[in-house]
Amino acid sequence: MAKPGPALPRHIGIIMDGNGRWARRRGLRRSAGHKAGIQAIRRVMDAADKAGVHCLTLYAFSTENWSRPRQEVATLMRLFEQTLQAEVDELHRNGVRIKVIGRREQLSTRLQRLVEDAEQRTADNSVGMLNVAINYGGRAEIVDGVRQLASAGADLSQLEEDQLAGALYTAGLPDPDLIIRTAGEMRTSNFLIWQAAYAELYVTETYWPDFGADDLRAALADYAGRDRRFGGVLEPR
Ligand code: FPP
């Protein structure tokens, strides 16, 4: 039977791409693109909240991004630290729970401490949920989930989907209904590959630093017009 999705996604995943191209187009350093990307995050969080979407997952740094020039990796790590420090208070006041997903043990001790502090302080919030994927890879997440179950003594020969879903970084959250990718590439790049199995994809040419409230509204309008079948048949609306 057709299972039409609700008109509004409960959870949106965002692949924030195009910071570098945005900067190059302006004759700026790539770091300027990443800084402008943070402003876009603020705009989009605000617009999502106003639209009634309260769970976002942002792809900030993949397990593959370590291969970028050392200087750029350092800039990004510094930006994560600064942004966490600068934004936690306001997010907390607004009732947003923060969670960093990914292999955090490879992050600097300083960043790990900031992440733990932000997570602990906001752990009881329930108005909104912000997941930030740092040193994240979807395949690594699945491997980590299986390892966790194995070390807890689970019988992996009887493994069920729900069990594995409960061992992923996103345990307890609804699966993303919508994945937005900016800057035109038609790929999901190892992002939430388990959770996004039935997500709708929305790709825009807009570079992430230019993405704003209107762009989010356009993505939501597009999503609202999709027929979600979850593998079933399409029934007339
Ligand atoms: C992709 O653009 C963007 C990233 C790899 C980094 C995303 C980071 C931010 C938006 C800033 C910090 C975020 C948080 C959550 C504090 P790209 O560099 O791959 O752009 P290009 O493909 O045009 O080169």
Average pLDDT over residues 160-187: 98
Instruction: Write the pLDDT tens digit of every residue in 121-149.
Output: 999 999 999 999 999 999 999 999 999 99
Torsions phi, psi for 60 (to 5 deg): -95, -35
Give a yes or no: residue 219 inside a domain.
no
The answer to whether residue 220 is domain-embedded is no
Ligand 1 atom 4 nearest Cα: 60
How far is ligand 1, taken at its centre, from the CA of residue 6, in Å? Answer: 30
The answer to whether residue 2 sits within a structural domain is: no
| 225 occurs within a structural domain | no
Q: Which amino acid would we find at residue 71?
A: Q
Q: Around 3, how many Cα atoms within 13 Å sit in the side-chain half-sphere?
A: 5
> Cα 108 to chain center, whole Å?
21
Sorted by sequence, the CB contacts under 8 Å of residue 104 that are 6+ apart come out as 111, 112, 115, 134, 135
pLDDT, position 3: 45
User: What domain count does the chain have?
Assistant: 1
pLDDT band at 230; cut points 50, 70, 90: confident
Residue 169 lies in a domain: yes
Which residues span the domain enclosing 204? Answer: 7-211
> Is 217 inside any structural domain?
no
233 is a domain residue: no
* Percentage of the chain lying above the pLDDT 70 cut: 95
Whether 65 is catalytic is yes
| Index of the ligand 1 atom closest to the CA of residue 24 | 23
Query: What pLDDT score does 29 carry?
Result: 96
The CATH code of the domain that includes 149 is 3.40.1180.10
Which of the 8 DSSP states describes residue 237? -
Question: Which protein residues touch ligand 1 with a CB less than 6 Å away?
Answer: 16-21, 34, 37-38, 41, 58, 60, 65, 76, 79-80, 83, 132, 183, 208
> What pLDDT sits at residue 234?
65
Q: Is residue 1 part of a domain?
A: no
